[in-house]
Amino acid sequence: MGQLNIRNVPDDLMKRAKIAAIQRGVTLRQYVVQAVGAAVEAPKGKKAAKGA
């Protein structure tokens, strides 16, 4: 499994992510992995498709 470290995350974003994870009953790591996975699988817009 790969490793990813993210620095300089805005405090407000970090707080909202922690709250969202708690509300879903998952760890922050699980929440972030799910969010990134969903973003990668999301349909691409016209601008994104042109660059691909």
pTM of the predicted model, to two decimals?
Answer: 0.74
pLDDT value, residue 24: 98
pLDDT value, residue 47: 60
Helices 11-24 + 28-41 axis angle, to 10: 100
17-23, long-range: CB < 8 A, 24+ apart: none
pLDDT tens track, the chain, 52 positions: 899 999 999 999 999 999 999 999 999 999 999 999 999 998 887 665 555 5
Nearest by Cα to 38 from 30, 50, 46: 30
> In degrees rounded to 5, what are phi and psi of residue 11?
-55, -40
pLDDT value, residue 15: 98
pLDDT value, residue 45: 72
